[in-house]
Amino acid sequence: MRDKDVGAESLTVANIPVHSLPTPSTSGLSQSQLDSVADCLSISKAKTKKRATYTPKEKATIARYATSNRIVDTVTHFKPQFAHLTENSVRRWKREYSKISGADGSAPEALLVGKRGRPTSLPAELDADLRRLLVTMREAGGVVNSTTIRGCLMGLVNANLTKYGTFLKFEVTHSWLTSLYTRMKFSQRKATTSRPPVSSGAYEETKLRYHFALQKVVDEYDIPEELIITLDQTPTKFFNLSNSTMSKRGESRTAVAHCGDKRTITATLAVTLSGDILPYQLIYKGTTKRCLPSADLLPAGFLLSYNKTHWSNTEETLNILNNVIKPYVDQKKKSLGKPDSQKVVVIWDDFSAHNAPRVLSLLSMLGICTVDIPKNLTHLLSPLDLTVNKKLKDFEREACASYVSRSLADHIQHNPEVGDFKLDIRLSVLKPLHAKTLTASYEFFKTVEGKKLIASGWRASGLTEAVRRCKEDGIDSRMLIDPFAALRI
């Protein structure tokens, strides 16, 4: 505590700080005895000064008097009534009163309207219209930056040149933008997703249609949980290093070596409502088989392929249906005692390759029905996006951190100087390590803990409960006409 702090509690006894006085526990005296001693020694306690407040009428009265008298005389005149009145306050009120007082010199309510602080550079109505427009654009997923803000402002000005024509040459400066963001309680941020915001009403409606589409198929064909499958493509990095690290406080730049490495492949994962995980499909970038890792490093059944972009397409979709989905389905039908005609349902996103004629023909031949996950809602309604894909990324980051630590430890053993340490991130080195990481993640998803994680993704999407209700209660006939009948039952 500093003795000169305004409003601080400073107790002194003959220039002795209060904390040097004894306490009941150290002196053996009671608190009342110590209080009596303090009174006799004239201990003073500085009181916190409170800010004086004035009503609009009082401000107007003082300002009216100041218009015909000196500031110092005004303070002296009202001092008995307002003990904390200052010359600065009177001067400010007089200035505002002079601007807005009428011909008769009366403006008692005018001082009530004005707000403290700097006025906005734009008229209040124009500023409010601009802020409303920017909020609307942002809620729709639009980009709001200095360029779009100026465009919106000029649009509003041109819409009413008679009133706002003088602002056609208004300069959108950095300080004005900062003020605008502050007043709107916004900040400049980097984009993290292309998905537009979804209102709660639209989300609930879309989710209900999605659940009903699955319920209808499951009820019609009596599909068991083992044959309800969802699959999804997700990028997986060879070198997935976390962007979070230790750094000195206040540093504006935090460098992390190789954190921008973007070399990836596409992994297509498939899981069932019963908690089973199917072998991965891994699509590498390349034109020959030399781009693939050794098959010995991956579990049996993994589907390896390659193309120039490492992206999924019609051919890759046909590939996974024939070589991953079909073998699993055939084996499950046999173990469950189901006939070959037993239908299967696959839940996936609305990807163009999923609707290609050849893919649709193969789905019909394999007896597979499909349910599309609503567009822009896979992050909320896809079981894989909710849990499994994130866990796969966690495996990658942990493996990457382990590789960096081992490499650095090996370097230090031969050379104590870490300044010349260089991490080997050639694909010939990373591909085998990455393959081992994918294998570790696959083995994890086959464990009890992994199955629980898969099941939690299905529950979070609402599909577990939707299928349970369908199997126990069936589908109300009214819902075949109106899926929202469930909301009124």
Q: Full-prediction pTM beyond 0.85?
A: no
Count of domains forming the chain:
4
Residues 277, 207 within the same domain:
yes
Q: Round to whole Å and give the CA distance between 96 and 112.
A: 11
What would the pLDDT profile of 254-291 be if each residue is shown by its tens digit? 445 555 667 899 999 999 999 999 999 999 999 999 99
What distance lies between CA 348 and its chain's CA centroid?
Answer: 24
Q: Report, as an integer, the average pLDDT of 60-73.
A: 88
Q: Round to whole Å and give the CA distance between 141 and 195.
A: 7
Residues 382, 459 within the same domain:
yes
Residues 107, 131 within the same domain:
no
Q: What is the pLDDT of residue 192?
A: 60
What would the pLDDT profile of 14-58 be if each residue is shown by its tens digit? 444 444 455 666 556 666 666 665 565 544 444 555 667 888 788
Q: How confident is residue 7, by pLDDT bands cut at 50, 70 and 90?
A: very low
> Does residue 444 fall inside a structural domain?
yes
Residues 409, 308 within the same domain:
yes
What's 425's domain CATH number?
3.30.420.10
Residues 325, 430 within the same domain:
yes
> Does residue 247 fall inside a structural domain?
no
Domain range for 158: 124-184
Residues 64, 34 within the same domain:
no
Residues 23, 157 within the same domain:
no
Residues 347, 435 within the same domain:
yes
> Does residue 361 fall inside a structural domain?
yes
- State yes or no: pLDDT of 303 exceeds 90: yes
> Does residue 253 fall inside a structural domain?
no
What would the pLDDT profile of 391-412 be if each residue is shown by its tens digit? 999 999 888 888 887 887 787 7
Residues 376, 440 within the same domain:
yes
Residues 179, 95 within the same domain:
no
Q: What is the pLDDT of residue 163?
A: 86
Task: Read off φ and ψ for residue 277, nearest 5 degrees.
Answer: -115, 135
> Does residue 5 fall inside a structural domain?
no
> Does residue 189 fall inside a structural domain?
no
Residues 102, 161 within the same domain:
no
Q: In the numeric block, which tokens belong to residue 129? A: 């219209």
Q: Evaluate the CA torsion angle 213, 216, 219, 221 in order and state its sign.
A: negative
> Does residue 4 fall inside a structural domain?
no
Task: Read off φ and ψ for residue 317, nearest 5 degrees.
Answer: -65, -45
> Does residue 3 fall inside a structural domain?
no
Query: Could you write out the DSSP letters of every residue in 173-222?
Result: -HHHHHHHHHHHT--------SPPP--HHHHHHHHHHHHHHHHHHHHHHT
Residues 41, 72 within the same domain:
no
Q: What's the half-sphere exposure (Cβ side, CA atoms, 13 Å) at 419?
A: 1
Q: Round to whole Å and give the CA distance between 198 and 336.
A: 41
Triad 431, 440, 324: Cα angle to 5°: 85
